[in-house]
Chains A and B, each alone.
Chain A
Amino acid sequence: MARRYTQPDVMARRSDDLETQELTLNVGPQHPSTHGVLRLVAVTDGEIIKSLEPHIGFLHRGMEKNSEGREYRQLIPLWDRNDYLASMHMDYMATSAVEALMDLEVPRRAEYIRVMMLELQRIASHLFWFASFALDSGAVTPLFYALKEREKIMDMFEMASGARLLYNYIRPGGVRADITPAFMEKLTAFLRDFPRYLDECEQLYTGNAIFINRARDVGVLTREAAINLGVSGPVLRGSGVAWDLRKDEPYSVYPEFKFDIPVGERGDVLDRYEVRFYEMRMATEIVRQAMEGMPEGEYVAKVAPSPKTKAGEVYVRQEAARGELGCYLVSDGGKKPWRFHVRPASYLNLGALDTLCRGYLFADLIIILGSIDIVLGDVDK
């Protein structure tokens, strides 16, 4: 059943009796549901959104300029703070850019540890997305359940790297510290309990008729529009495009793992939601395979404390939790980058918000925004 209220229908109905005006509404920078400081200026006709304009930049910190005067090892804690909820991905982004310009062989154990951490970070990021998404839609308890599970992951990261949110763990050559048997114990317990927790969450929230009615056929992004707008990650896969960098342009040791990629059919909020849940399950699978197949060896290669790269430019990309995260590094052959530019995942996903919201009710705006899963740190850098 078509859910969009197309504008010509509305105007045709109204043109003979009522003269209506468009209302410009402001979802201000301070709002509990915009996941950060984001201003949305919506032009609505009654309840139906005619156009939507995100105003960003409230969280701009000048990180690209800031990284031009820093050594490569100092870049990693800086870019941790870019997407602060998926910090391992940011670490890996900076690290892989630097390693691409160096002659370096990363030990296999380090690669396995990296993949394990990246997938655990994906789970943690999706759990936080789920918590805030459920809270936006009005269910107050999945927030706490999801954050409780995320605490377990953060405890594991704390054991490995020493910090709970901003890790500075993945660095050129390998990782910062090896993983301990205590870490493996916690990981085993977590992997044993997590699929059951996901089943519980699905029983509580996903099957709920209220939620399905709010999410099905809402915020539909067609396949062509998704590709044209340049979105990536679960937004792209929810719209039916089977594109995942871990399968299509594999990096690190991903070719050694067996996992599936979820692809949606309708491109609505429910599909993006389901894609993320399935990704959490697949990430659990990958972590289990990494844990069981962890090779012995060094956790870091021999590399200078402050590494130097060759001169040149490189663009590396990876499948971060929110989408495709790319990094363009121009180096002049020293310890500091000449230009460090990041292609953020959330920035381009946010650009699709206008297309996503047109024709839907204003009450759907928050749900659609939640389903894109943006972090303003990633958008504004």
Chain B
Amino acid sequence: MSDIRQDNPERVDDSSQEHLLVRFWFTEQESAGFKLFALFTLFWFATAFALAKGYGLFENAAELTREGKAGLIVFAGVPMILAIYVSLRFFWWVSAYLARVAGWAEAGKKIPGPARWFWFLVPAIGTYLYVDPLDNFGRLIAQVNLVTQLEQFGIPAFNPMLVLFRLLIVFFLVLLLWDYIKQGIIIAWDWLKETWGFAISFPQGLAVTLQCFLRPNVCVEYPEYRDEIPENFRGRHALVADERGIHKCIACRACERACPDRLIQISAVRNPETKKNELTGFLLDNSRCCFCGLCEDACPTDAIKHTPEYEYSCYERKEMVLDLFAEYIDRTAELRAKLGGARVS
């Protein structure tokens, strides 16, 4: 047993009261613990009293007169008060430890509850209800015939006062230990919510897949159905012909220079009359084309374009070298013949 004076330095500094046996000023810690200690002693002795009554130590008290019962309380209460005084007087130092245990060791911590006097009321009321010195409640219960009804119902030896007393004691304990209980509830509730969240995640996931199961599928079943391709899709190349069926290429070789892999091969002859280059051949190696579109960006006359055609697989590599000029001639032969010009370029 260590002296609390060594643990608590301010007590050593508080020199004005050291010579007294009982000091009149307590630290906050001590004061909080003191209240707890006081409550504890009250409760402890009230319980002892109730147990004595429950075990029939006051059996003959039921036949006592009103004054007799009051006298019994005083007679039995005197040792109780004495015990309370002794414990408060000589064991006040326990209060600090109790305060630390109860978590009220922080300075200025109030006793939890609606008001401080409420703490004294609860066990007091409970004790009074159970002891029932004036036999008020016994008579009330007998008038209501409660005990007989309960015995007929099948629950033997039902004592409403005892039950009430026990309930009040439980209530008192809950109030006293509310901090711990609240923490425990928080921990349990968090665990429960987490477990519930986990458990419910399975049906929610299943609900999502069920909804998607019932939706129509989004597959475009190639080759019976095809997706629509926008016009500017970069597919197979082609030389563009205007409305007369004549290509627009001026053989400036801008696309040759633009292509990152130099896949375009243009052959042109210079027409001495118009002093312009005329296209005679246009080869494009589509096997290494990366479809970047730089050729159609570079062309000043929009003569070469990517068409949206993408289905042109072949069996031999040399078929991948496209002769765009020959294709242009084949494609526009009819149109050019119809419009009367056999001119190719």
Cβ A78 vs Cβ B205 within 8 A: no
For residue A63, CB closer than 8 A to chain B, the reply is no
Q: How far is the CB of B213 from chain A (nearest CB, A)?
A: 10
B332 CB → nearest A CB, Å: 24
User: Complex formed: what's the CA distance from A162 to B197 in Å?
Assistant: 46
The A305-355 residues at the B interface (CB cut-off 8 A) are 305-306
The complex places the Cα of A205 from the Cα of B209 at a distance, in Å, of 11
B258 partner, pick from A74, A148, A162, A207, beta carbons under 8 A: A74
Q: Mark A184-215, 1 if CB is under 8 A from B, else 0.
A: 00000000000000001001110111001000
CB <8 Å contact, B230 and A168: no
Chain A residues closer than 8 Å to B204, beta-carbon distance? 203-204, 207
A148 to B216 CA separation, bound complex (whole angstroms): 13
Q: Specify which of A70, A77, A145, A212 is in contact with B198 (CB 8 Å cutoff).
A: A212
Asked if B234 CB lies within 8 Å of chain A CBs, one says yes
Residues of chain B within 8 A (CB-CB) of A76 are: 292
Q: B interface, how many residues as a size bin? A: 20 to 34
Answer yes or no: B155 CB below 8 A from chain A CBs. no
B205 touches A162 (CB 8 A): no
Task: Specify the main secondary structure of chain B where it touches its partner.
Answer: helix
Secondary structure class of chain A's binding surface, majority of residues = helix
**Given A70-B260, A148-B218, A207-B201: A305 in contact with B293 (beta carbons within 8 A):** no
Residue A73 interfacial (CB < 8 Å): yes
B205: chain A residues within 8 A (beta carbon) = 203-205, 207-208
Query: CB-CB < 8 A to A162: which residues of B?
Result: 230, 232-234, 293, 306
B78 CB within 8 Å of chain A: no
In the bound complex, do residue B297 and residue A209 qualify as a contact, i.e. CB atoms below 8 Å apart?
no
Q: Tell whether B83 is near chain A: CB-to-CB under 8 Å.
A: no
- CB pair B260 A78 closer than 8 Å: yes
Q: Does A159 contact B (CB under 8 A)?
A: yes
Q: Which residue of B lies closest to A168 (CB)?
A: B292
Report whether B233 and A207 are in contact in the complex, using a CB–CB cutoff of 8 Å: no
Q: Would B197 and A168 count as touching, CB distance under 8 A?
A: no
Complex Cα gap A200–B206 (Å): 11
Q: Does B298 contact A (CB under 8 A)?
A: yes
Given A74-B260, A145-B212, A305-B298, check contact A158 B233 (CB 8 Å).
Answer: yes
- Which A77-109 residues have a C-beta within 8 angstroms of B? 77-78, 80
> Is B94 an interface residue when CB atoms closer than 8 A count as contact?
no
Asked if A141 and B212 make an inter-chain contact with CB atoms under 8 angstroms apart, the answer reads yes
Question: A209: which B residues are within 8 A, CB to CB?
Answer: 197-199, 201-202
Name B210-237 residues within 8 Å CB distance of A: 212, 218, 229-230, 232-234
With a cutoff of 8 Å between Cβ atoms, the chain A residues found around residue B290 in the complex are 77, 166
> B208 near A: Cβ within 8 Å?
yes
User: For residues 158 through 189 of chain A, which have their beta carbon under 8 Å from a beta carbon of chain B?
Assistant: 158-159, 161-163, 166, 168, 176-177
- Given A74-B258, A200-B208, A207-B204, does the pair A159, B230 have CB atoms closer than 8 Å? yes
Say yes or no: is B254 at the interface (Cβ < 8 Å to chain A).
yes
Residue of A nearest to B235 (CB): A162
Say if the beta carbon of B294 comes within 8 Å of chain A: yes
* Distance, CA A212 to CA B195, complexed state (A): 12
A270 to chain B, nearest CB (A): 14
Interface residues of B in 242-271 (CB under 8 A from A): 254, 257-258, 260
B291 at the interface (CB under 8 A from A): yes
Q: Given A163-B233, A207-B197, A209-B199 in contact, is the A305-B258 Cβ separation under 8 Å? A: yes
A177 closest partner in B (C-beta): B232
Nearest chain B CB to A71's CB is how many angstroms away? 8
CB atoms of B258 and A73 under 8 A apart = yes
Contacts of B212 in A (CB 8 A): 141, 145
Best-surrounded residue of B212, B291, B294 (most CB of chain A within 10 A): B294
Asked whether A305 and B198 contact (CB < 8 A) given A78-B260, A158-B230, A200-B208, the answer is no
Chain A positions within 8 Å of B209 at CB level: 141, 204
**Shortest beta-carbon distance, A321 to chain B, in Å?**
21
Which residues 290-340 of B sit at the A interface, judged by CB distance below 8 A?
Answer: 290-294, 297-298, 306
Complex Cα spacing A203 to B197, Å: 11
* A77-B232 in contact (CB<8A): no
Whether the pair B230, A208 counts as a contact (CB closer than 8 A) is: no
Complex CA distance for A329 and B67, rounded to whole angstroms? 108
Are the CB atoms of A305 and B254 closer together than 8 Å? yes
Smallest CB–CB gap between B234 and chain A, Å?
4
- With A162-B232, A208-B205 given, name 15 new contacts (CB 8 A): A73-B258, A73-B294, A74-B294, A77-B292, A158-B230, A162-B230, A162-B233, A163-B234, A166-B292, A176-B297, A177-B232, A209-B199, A305-B258, A306-B257, A306-B258
Sample 28 A-B pairs with CB under 8 A, ordered by A number. Answer: A74-B260, A74-B294, A76-B292, A77-B290, A77-B292, A80-B292, A141-B209, A141-B212, A145-B212, A158-B229, A159-B230, A162-B230, A162-B233, A163-B233, A166-B291, A166-B292, A177-B232, A203-B204, A203-B205, A203-B207, A204-B209, A205-B205, A207-B201, A207-B204, A208-B205, A209-B201, A209-B202, A306-B257
A residues adjacent to B (C-beta < 8 A): 70, 73-74, 76-78, 80, 141, 145, 148, 158-159, 161-163, 166, 168, 176-177, 200, 203-205, 207-209, 212, 305-306
- Across chains A and B, which 5 residue pairs bring their CB atoms closest together, nearest first? A77-B292, A209-B198, A74-B260, A204-B208, A207-B201
